[in-house]
Amino acid sequence: MIAAQLLAYYFTELKDDQVKKIDKYLYSMRFSDETLLEISGRFRRELVAGLGRDTNPTATLKMLPTFVRSIPDGSEKGDFIALDLGGSNFRILRVKVSHEKKQTVQMESQVYDTPEDIMHGSGTRLFDHVAECLGDFMEKQNIKDKKLPVGFTFSFPCQQRRLDEGLLLTWTKRFKASGVEGMDVVQLLNKAIKKRGDYDADIMAVVNDTVGTMMTCGFDDQRCEVGVIIGTGTNACYMEELRHMELVEGDEGRMCINTEWGAFGDDGSLEDIRTEFDREIDRGSMNPGKQLLEKMCSGMYLGELVRLILVKMAKEGMLFEGRITPELLTKETIQTKHISAIEKSKDGLTKAKEILTRLGVEPSHDDCVAVQHVCAVVSFRSANLIAAALAAILTRLKENRGVARLRTTVGMDGSLYKMHPQYARRLHKTVRRLVPDADIRFLLSESGSSKGAAMVTAVAYRLADQSRQIAQTLEEFRLTRDQLLEVKKRMRTEIQNGLSKKTQDTATVKMLPTFVRSTPDGTENGDFLALDLGGTNFRVLLVKIRSGKRRTVEMHNKIYAIPLEVMQGTGEELFDHIVQCISDFLDYMGMKNTRLPLGFTFSFPCRQTSLDAGVLVTWTKGFKATDCEGEDVVGLLREGIKRREEFDLDVVAVVNDTVGTMMTCAYEEPTCEIGLIAGTGSNACYMEEMRNIETVDGDEGLMCVNMEWGAFGDNGCLDDFRTEYDRSVDDFSLNPGKQRSEKMCSGMYLGEIVRQILIDLTKRGFLFRGQISETLKTRGIFETKYLSQIESDRLALLQVRSILQHLGLDSTCDDSIIVKQVCGAVSYRAAQICGAGMAAVVDKIRENRGLDHLNVTVGVDGTLYKLHPHFSRVMIQTVKELAPQCNVNFLLSEDGSGKGAALITAVGCRMRQNSST
């Protein structure tokens, strides 16, 4: 639909031939939707160019960063001053935001004149005038003794590197004060205030009036993320993703961009739609060739555009019977306020007659109708061009957010938008046609842009306070080097207690002997069965190991689920289920008649008395099967096999998954003498000197010790490092008071620690608008895999938000940043604690051997180590810093619990053979 059709009602009283004649002049001012979409596309290309580092210098849209990173969230409070300089009037407000039951805003303001001679004089005079007005206002408010935060609405193009800095790029709107362009207006104002010396002010933010409009509306509607002014001048701002803003450091979160869209077309991109009248206006302006869109759309120029059209029509005898008066030829005798009056549907024609009569042209009724039509086309063109530019911004927001339908609010201000009888309605209609897949609310800024400056200041105040409090909360998770050395020292003490016969019973780090006395030497050969029980899934494997020049390991496996009722039922039910799974696997492999040697990876704390006997000390990881703790698990397995009476197996070894991890890596790398699991649980093992293991007879050679370091801290030795969140996670766990170190650094618990912190921050009003959702109240909802995803460097905040939304958490961009910070702090500490424990182990091995320097390899497995984007790097760095005399290489294990169990079985068979010969 084109503008002409919408304007059809204006022609009813015009003769057909007259309409045609007028149309000749106005045809190029009317646009179809296709043309508007084409203009919108051009605008979007310029917008992208303005955001790019290399393309910004030549872009007409300067896309100036404002360093406003958040809109109001409803929790702001305080007493603020706002200054608003942007036209011939200068306004000062005092804005009090309080919280009694609901957020309220009280405002008191005063308007001061900015005389023409000051606007065109020196910069020093201008800022002395502002400082004088501010002093007068503070005197009247009786607040000269207070240092209140000030927000400065400065409605001219500024370049900002901080929120409290604004370098004026160029004066607009008839201002021409010398010595200001290129200078920081905050510094100039501070200098003027200092010179007076009778009051002090803390200028926290310099804000463009468009940003002020967005923030004012954002206070009433938190969906508001666009600000548009259509008044004397025109401009827009919106919240852009930082990752797209190449001129600003960082890529987390959003920042408000001041588009300075009045300059769109300054590169000639609007030449095909500019008319002879637009060119004449530009030639006669103070800044020819600049602000071309503004000259086609804003209140400063529309009246003059209409006057130029009327002059030309009169000259050609189409109006006023060809009468041209000196008044009609005088610049700016028709103003935009006159257009608004003429276009009123009730008394518009009467107003037209009055205005034209004052210009001495003696209008007829037909003249008045024609002039009304000219005004309508000029103002309609303005609304259409603004709609095309705004449609480009809304489409950009939609793409940034990756949604099928955009829901947003646009904050609006400006005299043309507010005073013109048809303008707002036309603009809204056109925008909705150009962006059909969006629900757009247009919200009028009630108190102009000045309140917005106070809001920016209030938000800056809130964010600074919030950041400080969040940093304070997360500070507990950042362990210093001294704290980590203390953790390492305490781990050494606990290792010693676990190895010593006297203290072993009360030791928390149990240092359990595994009776694995050697790592693989390459001669292992044969077919072995491996069982792997350590979580909700259970695996049965056939491992074929071949020695010789080309050593090979071939594996076949099947995974079986362990239902919760079996995990937490009786021991007999659990082992019958395991034997049933073995039976199914042997059928599957066609090997039921072969008595295979078997290694049983049993990833729970066991006290071993030999390689093939392990007494379960305690269940972990959610297992609760009865009649198992204190029993030999190999015996329980053999009894289960016997009950089934289908097959027989030679159970050679009961294996901990950590030991299996070490053995797998040692098969590839002979220097591997340590195993580490950093996954659902956390544990380590290493080859200890027999002479140091007082709980086992003999002091020749080495034996692998299963540390069971997850219980480190169960005696309270880590209490000074535990936070209230750790205590809460522990209190609500299946085994309160147990496995305290594991609860600080293993995958099973990190997500739960994060959830506890998020609940606390939400209660304190820093997250999710202070609303604790049912989802957030659900234990275990925040799985550790989400930490890995959220902390991924490749993941934009948009994707972080979608993860949170998947969890039922309706988050803003700011929420996503905070959640990412929390996840980072929790996983960082986990890696640090793990690293401190490992540093204690490698230093112990080095000292055992009396070496100045140790080269050693750690075989590692576990989802946290493998999948988390930063865990391994932080842990390795921590080991490096805390054990500088050790060169520690970390080798990722390939199936420690399966292949490792078979290798231990193979080594056990080899050693059994050797001892029998």
What digits encode the pLDDT tens for the residues 264-315?
999 999 999 999 999 999 999 888 999 999 999 999 999 999 999 999 999 9
Tell whether the torsion through CA atoms of 191, 193, 198 and 201 is positive or negative.
negative
In eight-state DSSP terms, residue 114 is -
End-to-end CA, the chain: 99
For residue 653, is pLDDT > 70?
yes
Annotated active-site residue in 603, 788, 893, 897: 603
How large a percentage of the chain has pLDDT more than 70?
A: 95
Of 387, 342, 262, nearest to 1 by C-alpha is 387
Distance CA 810, CA 129 (A): 47
Phi, psi of 201 (to 5 degrees): -145, 145
Name the strands in the sheet holding 682-689, side by side, starting at the edge strand that comes first in the sequence. Answer: 512-513, 702-706, 682-689, 672-678, 854-861, 886-892
Distance CA 740, CA 731 (A): 11
CA dist 894 to 455, 532, 555, 900, Å? 56, 14, 12, 9
Tokens of 573: 């039910």
Name the strands in the sheet holding 149-154, side by side, starting at the edge strand that comes first in the sequence. Answer: 102-113, 89-100, 78-85, 149-154, 202-207
CB atoms within 10 A of CB 428: 17
pLDDT for 4 equals 44
- State the average pLDDT over residues 597-609: 86
Residues 850-854: contacts with CB under 8 Å, at least 24 apart: 852/885, 853/885, 853/886, 853/887, 854/885, 854/886, 854/887
Mean per-residue pLDDT of the chain:
88
CB atoms within 10 A of CB 563: 11
Distance CA 442, CA 420 (A): 16
Name residue 491's amino acid: M
Q: Is 603 a catalytic residue?
A: yes
The set of residues, in sequence order, having a beta carbon less than 8 Å from that of 19 and lying 6+ positions away, is 11
Annotated active-site residue in 30, 490, 517, 539: 539
Q: Scanning the structure block, which residue is given the tokens 């809109």?
A: 71
Residue 875 pLDDT level (bands cut at 50, 70, 90): very high
pLDDT digits (tens, 9 = 90+) for 734-772: 889 999 999 999 988 999 999 999 999 999 888 887 888
Of 169-173, 201-205, 837-841, 895-899, the least confident: 895-899
* Number of residues in the chain: 917
User: Please, what is the angle between helix 365-401 and helix 299-315, to 10°?
Assistant: 140
Residue 622 pLDDT level (bands cut at 50, 70, 90): confident
Residue 13 pLDDT level (bands cut at 50, 70, 90): very low
HSE value, Cβ hemisphere, 13 Å, CA-based, for 780:
6
pLDDT for 794 equals 64
Of 64, 60, 67, 62, nearest to 42 by C-alpha is 60
DSSP string, 662-687: HHHHHHH-TTEEEEEEESSSEEEEEE
Written in H, E and C, the secondary structure of 248-262 is CCCCCCEEEEECCHH
Residue 17 pLDDT level (bands cut at 50, 70, 90): low
For residue 327, is pLDDT > 60?
yes
Q: Is 539 a catalytic residue?
A: yes
The answer to whether 451 touches 82, Cβ cutoff 8 Å, is: yes
For residue 500, is pLDDT > 60?
yes
For residue 814, is pLDDT > 80?
no
- State the average pLDDT over residues 133-140: 91
- State the average pLDDT over residues 626-652: 91
pLDDT for 916 equals 67
Distance CA 686, CA 368 (A): 98
Q: Is 576 a catalytic residue?
A: no
Name residue 761's amino acid: L
The bridge status of strand 886-892 relative to strand 854-861 is parallel
Distance CA 457, CA 164 (A): 10
Of 532, 588, 577, 520, nearest to 911 by C-alpha is 520
- State the average pLDDT over residues 817-838: 93
Alpha helix positions (H), 260-324 = 276-283, 292-297, 299-315
In eight-state DSSP terms, residue 74 is S
pLDDT for 19 equals 56
Alpha helix positions (H), 476-561 = 481-499
Distance CA 661, CA 669 (A): 12
CA dist 524 to 515, 681, 701, 906, Å? 18, 30, 20, 6
CA dist 885 to 135, 228, 590, 685, Å? 66, 63, 52, 20
Annotated active-site residue in 209, 657, 730, 814: 657
Name residue 804's amino acid: L
Distance CA 410, CA 228 (A): 7
Residue 917 pLDDT level (bands cut at 50, 70, 90): low
Give the predicted TM-score (pTM) of the model. 0.70
Tell whether the torsion through CA atoms of 500, 506, 510 and 513 is positive or negative.
positive
